[in-house]
Structure 1
Amino acid sequence: MDEYRQTTAADASLPAHARSSLNHCNLPPVILGSLTFQHHPAPLSLDGVAELHDALFQSLDGIDDATRRAENFQDYMRSGFLLDHPEEAGLPERPGKKHRGRADYLRILRGWLFDPDSKEAAVLKGWVESRFGLLPRNHQGPVGDINSLPYQAYLAARTQGLYNTNALESQLDLLYTYCQYEIARQFPGQTHLTLYRGINRINEHEVLHQPGRHRYILVLNNINSFTGNRERADEFGDYILEAAIPLSKLAYLPGLLPGRLSGEDEYLVIGGVYEVNLSAF
């Protein structure tokens, strides 16, 4: 095979086994998950979320300080989803049993940062699947198609993580929408960030094409951790993936919620087909 041949449409397209036919976004999975989208991104919006919470974003428009906006956002989340009073959302305390109503968007983020194969991570991957139509490619190991046993195990973990919680995926909808709002204010006119991810083997990913010695076109998991610090990426593998990440594919970025999460140097990147450079540190 000539590794320097031009990329074809098949190389650039998101494979059918990595996407569903439906989502809750303004663009279909086959488009937002494609290599073309990485090179020429467009804004992504979740159906009805910004409109439903218009009062929040109108109030944020008048605040110049990003930290104050984050505080207002978190106050809105607490009041809008009754996070401090889950019993008012119909989730009464049951003595001797774990209160699942306490599983909020912050706990999902913490769970992901602690273990990307946890139940919380399965919820996050399931949210990406539902909202963007991108199927997970890895959860506690490679995930096959929707009929495979690994996919069914992932579904079970996702269901356990969502059971008896308070509109958890709607909380993640608003977190993503707020993240995109902040990106528009903090990076006006910018479309991409160069980010890094440490890996041990390139065959951990589904490689579609290798257009150059150190360049790969591959399918990323439907959500992934990246960092803006190349040295930091080296702590997580022998090789480093470097990619131009569309800002519209960021679900979380460092400092979005100041002081609330450890490991805040992580970016959460929605997956699909990406062209990356691979190098040793």
Structure 2
Amino acid sequence: MTSTQPCDTNTTISLADRLLTLPAFAAAPINRCNLPAVILGGLTYQHCPTALHIDMVQEFHARLFTQLDGLDTPSERAQHFRQYMNSAFLLSDSEQVGFSHQNNGIRRDKADYLRLIRGWMFDANSIEAAVIKRWVESRFGLLTLNHKGVIQGVSSDEYQRYLQDYVRGLYNSNALESQLDLLYTYCQYELIRQMPKTTHLALFRGVNGLPKSNSCSQLLLNNNNSFSDARDQASIFGDHVFSANIPTTKILYFPDLLPNLLRGEREYLVIGGMVDVQWLKG
């Protein structure tokens, strides 16, 4: 039987050993959404997804989504979302949330949801990336399997380095995890507005070091991942490229969600778990 222990950022599983639910080592016992991790991280969910809701986010920010309902274009909605984020989290008035220009040392008031996404796009092992991975753990219950190396357990050096990066990224910042809650919820809103009948997107990812003996196989992804909608772009990041039908409910960010602000390489941020994939020939 093929091992399901994490290998690099992803784990390969043969079709003969298909698992419908997430392996226990990759799942937390609790989360903050409407489905347990073993379900939303499993293969069945990939093929038959249902809506994911982080607890009480849409209800708490109901006014925002009511206002968005009255705007016709994605660009108008994106501008309104940015303005709402600035207002709700006082992103342009840091002194109101306790930051002082007289403080010595590194000021953290510029750490916001945009900086987190930019940090991820620059380096998926960055401090900002650690904050996003930890957020996925908390909200969806999908454990981080790789950060600057394979995480073999809570006693491993890799896990301790991951926690250090997370704490450094979150320390003395302004509700970063709540900002990510609202970013994810807005992303899901926009996907439904722009593609109301779409449940999956065919996306591509380039990887190194994974076996490629079968054209079809199953992967256990890290809890957050970069994908592209362009095969050629994905091939830049690894020797082997696979395609996967990704549920739209697992997308945290997609290109042009916030026009002119985040210019990645047609990059999608995708929440992890197990996926059926198709390896593509070079």
- For the criterion TM > 0.5, the same-fold answer is yes
**Which letter maps to 1:242?**
S
Q: Is the 8 A contact 1:238 1:280 kept in 2?
A: no
Q: The residue matched to 2:278 in structure 1 has which SS?
A: strand
**Which letter maps to 1:274?**
V
> Which residue pairs with 1:238 in the alignment?
239
Percent identity between the two aligned chains: 51
1:57 maps to 2:62: no
> Which residue pairs with 1:250 in the alignment?
251
> Which residue pairs with 2:89 in the alignment?
81
**Which letter maps to 2:129?**
A
Q: CA deviation at 1:163?
A: 0.1
1:29 maps to 2:37: yes
> Which residue pairs with 2:27 in the alignment?
19
**Which letter maps to 1:241?**
F
Change (3 A) 1:76 1:4: closer
Deviations 1:101-125 (A, max 9, x none): 2100000001001111010000000
> Which residue pairs with 2:215 in the alignment?
214
Q: The residue matched to 1:101 in structure 2 has which SS?
A: coil
> Which residue pairs with 1:163 in the alignment?
171
> Which residue pairs with 2:56 in the alignment?
48
Q: Is the 8 A contact 2:14 2:218 kept in 1?
A: no
Q: Distance in 2 between matches of 1:202 and 1:264?
A: 23
Deviations 1:135-166 (A, max 9, x none): 11110011122332211221111011000000
Q: Distance in 1 between matches of 2:216 and 2:145?
A: 21
> Which residue pairs with 2:203 in the alignment?
195
Instruction: Tell me which moved more, 139-148 or 88-97.
Output: 88-97
Q: Is the 8 A contact 2:217 2:277 kept in 1?
A: yes
Q: CA deviation at 1:5?
A: 6.3
**Which letter maps to 1:31?**
I
Q: Is the 8 A contact 1:145 1:151 kept in 2?
A: yes
Q: Distance in 1 between matches of 2:272 and 2:101?
A: 37
Q: Is the 8 A contact 1:195 1:226 kept in 2?
A: yes
Q: CA deviation at 1:261?
A: 1.1
Q: Is the 8 A contact 1:219 1:274 kept in 2?
A: yes
> Which residue pairs with 2:264 in the alignment?
263
Q: Distance in 1 between matches of 2:103 and 2:14?
A: 64
Q: Distance in 1 between matches of 2:265 and 2:106?
A: 27
Q: CA deviation at 1:279?
A: 2.3
Q: Is the 8 A contact 1:179 1:256 kept in 2?
A: yes
**Which letter maps to 2:243?**
E
* TM-score computed with the length of structure 2 as normaliser: 0.92
Which segments of structure 1 move beyond 6 Å, counting only runs of 4 or more?
A: 1-5
> Which residue pairs with 2:225 in the alignment?
224
Q: Distance in 2 between matches of 1:95 and 1:59?
A: 38
What runs of 5+ residues in structure 2 fail to find an aligned partner?
3-12
**Which letter maps to 2:100?**
P
> Which residue pairs with 2:111 in the alignment?
103
Q: CA deviation at 1:17?
A: 0.9
Q: Distance in 2 between matches of 1:7 and 1:144?
A: 22
**Please, what is the CA RMSD of the aligned residues?**
1.8
Q: The residue matched to 1:202 in structure 2 has which SS?
A: coil
Q: Distance in 1 between matches of 2:85 and 2:31?
A: 24
Q: Is the 8 A contact 1:255 1:264 kept in 2?
A: no
Count residues with an aligned counterpart: 272
Q: Distance in 1 between matches of 2:30 and 2:154?
A: 14
Deviations 1:3-49 (A, max 9, x none): 986554xx222111111001000000000000000011110000000
